[in-house]
Amino acid sequence: MSLPSSAHSLIVLAAEGGEHGGNHESLNPYLTGGGALLALLLLLWITTRLNRDR
């Protein structure tokens, strides 16, 4: 497959994706973001508790 035909396929695929939106109905962005923030804060807390050499 050549580069121009690959690029054309990707452009067609991206144009079709605009119709659907890409989000599942059961996914709440605030809940997903809050969960990710909570997980990162937990990892930060664990890292700072284990790094007591300073």
Write the CA distances from 26 to 14, 23, 31, 32, 52, integer angstroms.
23, 8, 11, 11, 42
- Supply the pTM of this predicted model: 0.52
pLDDT at 19 over 70: no
Q: What percent of the chain has pLDDT over 90?
A: 37
pLDDT for position 28: 86
Cβ neighbours of residue 29 closer than 8 Å, sequence gap 6 or more: 23
Among 32, 13, 10, 15, smallest CA distance to 23 is for 32
Mind listing the pLDDT tens digit for each residue in 23-46?
677 888 899 999 999 999 999 999
- Mean of the per-residue pLDDT values of the chain: 82
